[in-house]
Structure 1
Amino acid sequence: MTGNTTAIHLGNTKSCVAGYGGRLDPHTAYQFCIPSWVVFTDNGTLVGEAAMNHAAVRPGTAVSGFKRLLGIRMYNEMVKREAELVPYHFTEQLGRCGIEMEIEEGNLKRFLPEDVASILVAELKRMAEAHLGREIRYAVVTVPGHFNGVQRSSLVMEAAQWRGGFRTAKLVDEQVAAAAGYRLHEKRGDRKVILVFHLGGRTCHATKFRFKDGSGHLLDEHHDAYLGGDDFTGRVVDYFVELIEEKHHRDIRGDEGTLRKLRAECERAKKLLSDREGVLMNIGSVLGEGADIYEELTRAKFEELNRDLMERGMEIVETVVMEGAPTSQMQSRKDAIDEVILVGGSVRIPMVGQLLEDYFNGRGLIRDEDAVIRGAALLSRPESARYVEECYYGGVSGPLWLAK
């Protein structure tokens, strides 16, 4: 029945639910998104916007960006790197990486990243059910193509089914979902070579694959778990910390409250620069000064601060395009790609799109921040079931939908 299955996409910064169905028209599409934040307090749990707002005041009680920790061991190198970025601690739980934080009144809480994922899944499920006016039993859950079998199992079995409330959940790779958003999994995309480039809030990856009779065949994949929009914002924060010290004689490096305010203002400015050439930032409000003190951030300055990070993203694309071939084959390798799809919130940054257009010699690119969740919603419909069940589900390791 239309509306009895929904699509779930958990991102590091934003999570969404989408599908088809409504009280009046069962074929109407719906989509709801929330920030990927969860807060634990003595009085209960906050999710989404409320959690993100609470994190601005009590950052040590909030969790976001947990996705890359799903299903990994405590002594994985990624845990060491993550520990340098977050205000809480990691402990071994059930042989895996767990999270330990001090909530209000000094109480300690220990949990797994899967618990955080399940709280978000349950909230998205609740939102969709409120829209439809009935229970949803089944889900199609998106997963990064580079996730291994343990990570995939932790997402679908623990987060979506055991704790998230779905009777059955099946996986589809994010790259396949993005292509399905443009119906490239159907006959019109048969034999086409597709490159999906994802640049989100915290991660970056590129995947090249081909559909043959509805089945995806991997050609190459490369990713960077620590490259995304948050890094771009961080460069702007560093710039203004130095500017404030130079022009306003304030060193705010040790002032966590002021740094949080500055980061929020830099994040706002970054987003506005997607449509503007410059943004005035009220530094006075950040510093708590009585008078308004404005400094301008131009798009040109933003691009200067972040050029090397964006070029790192381009290196990921080139690695996947070339597959180790000599540079003499570069043009033929580019020409062999039929469709290029850009997904993730950070692809809205004009320089990102321009670098990719230049790399592909000015060809038209599909830029669609929500292609993954929209494609997953299409695959959640009964008539699309075979693309999930037959082609992309099952197995124990590696990208489950891909066969070389």
Structure 2
Amino acid sequence: MIIGIDLGTTNSAVGVWRDGKVELIPNSLGAVLTPSAVGLDDDGALLVGLAARERRSTHPTLTATTFKRYMGSTRTTRLGKQDYLPEDLSALVLARLKADAEAYLGQPVTEAVITVPAYFNDKQRKATRRAGELAGLKVERLLNEPTAAALAYGIHELGDETRFLVFDLGGGTFDVSVLEIFEGVIEVRASTGDNQLGGEDFNAVLVQMMREAHGKAWGKAEADFGFRQRLQVAAEKARRTLTDQPVADMTVTWQDESWTLEVTAEAFEAAAAPLLARLREPVLGALRDGSVQAAALKEIVLVGGATRMPIVRRAVTRMFGRFPSNAVHPDEAVVIGAAIQAGLKARDAALKDVVMTDVCPYSLGVDIAETGPGGALRDGIFSPVIERNTVVPASRMSVFSTIQPGQRKVVFNVFQGESRLVADNIRLGRIEIPVPPARAGEIQVEVRFSYDVNGLIEVDVHVPHTGERRQLVIVDDQDGPPPDLEQRRAALAALKVNPRDQDANRAASARAARCYELFLGERRAHVAELISRFETVLDRQDPRAIDAARQELIHGLDALDGETFL
């Protein structure tokens, strides 16, 4: 069985193509969205999802969120006594989604299509693939998120010829893709984006507004990691309130003191103006690279939870001079597309007429040296071989020459990026080939790059004069031997995992603990009473009584805190 997974910065989801349609798979709490949060409970058990996220403000050193933003880096997060890479934490989320799918489908799940931001570079894509493998999944394909959204949107448009733009603003990344549908083909014309722009950055704007209002009164409190986590939680809640309300109260409680800031939609929009301005350039770049005029677009499709913000919708409306489409669910479009792609991989008969192309998101090339006006050599210059937004799979060749007399070898470093200087691009690998000594420029070297739909890069270097050939396959982003995936998988599997059937109780208890620390006075006393009643029933170990008590606790918290958001 093959599934489709949207591995998101804020929330993740899983779906399957079955009986001619997409089925979104609920988690143990009955929700389609699972927060991309990992934590440890007080007894050391691993928590994934809502139960982990609810403990972010009360147990900040035992909780990790937004780790997708650091995918492909060596940044680690310490939970308890162990350090985790972003791909390790992502693997734990993927493993939970895999378990949810197996419980729902009643059969083992071994393969998956996993979505990634279109603007993820090679290191980030390889790390995502490793996360899938660590979770026990064979990753059939890494699918760009806007392309997945295009599948969800375009599946009903396949009979028409149309062009549209997917504007994908999630919790941590921003992608733009221009697509064209014709004769049953969905073709990506161009993709671009910003890997460091998302809902979390808008939260940071609200945190700064709160800091400007109350920073002096906080004193040294802000130096505490737990205090900063509470600021983040308060900002997230205020931002979501502003989605459908003109005013939101942002409240932070710390050591029996409470600070509140009333934030209006107008003030938030003014403070977020620099972020809104950053949305424009990727849109213009995608239209430019795709050779498409904005007026030629049939629809602007909004995807990603952060596009719910009215300030973003207004910015898009101003950008294009018309309202964006609401044809797809912003939180579900990507996982629906991933499930459709899984159906395509499984060769489902209902999808036999769907053909899809994608593009290479970054330019790929090598470092070269060139002769300056005074005859001096300048090295570290980037020479693209496959340019960004080339339709994949693709194979391109460039020819280079030796630069020194008597030169006996040529060394190429492989880079990914758009800067003229390789120092500003991402190094992917190195390849060396011998050449016969000759006059400068006399020996030519052919360099061919091949790039497939999964982002696999092959570099083939050939010296026609001697017939020498060398090949490099970019299989990992690290120099030296690849990491021991089996050993890492075993280490993750050895973690004490919280049983799925306890998720609801642990999530409710974690939320209640957060609310107790958030409120003061009578409301705090009321939360304490709710917690006491719930814990009394838990001790009886009667499943029916526990379910009823949990619902009573949740309703009581909803009345104080508002409904749980995803």
Taking a change above 3 Å as real, the CA distance of residues 358 and 154 of structure 1, as seen in their structure-2 partners, is: same
Taking a change above 3 Å as real, the CA distance of residues 176 and 7 of structure 1, as seen in their structure-2 partners, is: same
Counterpart contact for 1:265–1:281, Cα < 8 Å: yes
Does the residue aligned with 2:9 lie in a helix, a strand or coil?
A: coil
Q: What corresponds to 1:231 in structure 2?
A: 201
Taking a change above 3 Å as real, the CA distance of residues 261 and 149 of structure 1, as seen in their structure-2 partners, is: closer
**1:377 and 2:339 aligned:** yes
Does the residue aligned with 2:46 lie in a helix, a strand or coil?
A: strand
Pick from 9, 13, 18: which aligns with 2:15?
18
Counterpart contact for 1:279–1:296, Cα < 8 Å: yes
The 1-side partners of 2:284 and 2:7 are apart by 27
Higher relative contact order (CA 8 A, sep 6+): 1
The 2-side partners of 1:171 and 1:389 are apart by 16
Considering fraction of residues, name the structure with more strand: 2
Question: 1:276 Cα deviation (Å)?
Answer: 0.5
The 2-side partners of 1:315 and 1:371 are apart by 24
Q: What corresponds to 1:356 in structure 2?
A: 316
The 2-side partners of 1:204 and 1:127 are apart by 28
**1:113 and 2:86 aligned:** yes
- Write the mapping of 1:106-185 to structure 2, written as runs, cut at 5 A: 107=81, 109-149=82-122, 151-156=124-129, 158-160=130-132, 162-167=133-138, 169-184=140-155
Number of residues of Structure 1 aligned to a counterpart in Structure 2: 354
Question: 1:294 Cα deviation (Å)?
Answer: 4.6
Pick from 2, 6, 12: which aligns with 2:3?
6
**1:206 and 2:176 aligned:** yes
Does the residue aligned with 1:67 lie in a helix, a strand or coil?
A: helix
Taking a change above 3 Å as real, the CA distance of residues 308 and 140 of structure 1, as seen in their structure-2 partners, is: same
Q: What corresponds to 1:329 in structure 2?
A: none
- Write the mapping of 1:264-343 to structure 2, written as runs, cut at 5 A: 264-283=233-252, 285-286=253-254, 288-289=256-257, 294-323=260-289, 333-343=293-303
The 2-side partners of 1:390 and 1:62 are apart by 39
Q: What corresponds to 1:34 in structure 2?
A: 34
The 1-side partners of 2:35 and 2:311 are apart by 25
Question: 1:128 Cα deviation (Å)?
Answer: 1.7
Question: 1:350 Cα deviation (Å)?
Answer: 0.4
Does the residue aligned with 2:279 lie in a helix, a strand or coil?
A: helix
Q: What corresponds to 1:92 in structure 2?
A: none
Pick from 208, 227, 240: which aligns with 1:258?
227
Pick from 74, 79, 85: which aligns with 1:98?
74
Taking a change above 3 Å as real, the CA distance of residues 213 and 324 of structure 1, as seen in their structure-2 partners, is: closer
RMSD: 3.3
The 2-side partners of 1:297 and 1:170 are apart by 43
Counterpart contact for 2:184–2:355, Cα < 8 Å: no
Does the residue aligned with 1:373 lie in a helix, a strand or coil?
A: helix
The 1-side partners of 2:249 and 2:86 are apart by 38
Please give the TM-score of this superposition, normalised by the length of structure 2. 0.56
Does the residue aligned with 2:293 lie in a helix, a strand or coil?
A: helix
Question: 1:167 Cα deviation (Å)?
Answer: 4.7
Q: What corresponds to 1:87 in structure 2?
A: none
Counterpart contact for 2:63–2:79, Cα < 8 Å: no
Q: What corresponds to 1:63 in structure 2?
A: 64
Q: What is the letter of the counterpart of residue 333 of structure 2?
A: A
The 1-side partners of 2:156 and 2:13 are apart by 22
Does the residue aligned with 1:253 lie in a helix, a strand or coil?
A: helix
Taking a change above 3 Å as real, the CA distance of residues 53 and 60 of structure 1, as seen in their structure-2 partners, is: same
Does the residue aligned with 1:207 lie in a helix, a strand or coil?
A: strand
The 2-side partners of 1:384 and 1:165 are apart by 28
In structure 2, stretches of 5+ residues that fail to align are 26-31, 359-391, 395-449, 456-566
Between structure 1 and structure 2, the one with the greater Rg is 2
Question: 1:236 Cα deviation (Å)?
Answer: 1.0
Counterpart contact for 2:175–2:193, Cα < 8 Å: yes
Please give the TM-score of this superposition, normalised by the length of structure 1. 0.76
Q: What corresponds to 1:93 in structure 2?
A: none
Counterpart contact for 1:148–1:399, Cα < 8 Å: no
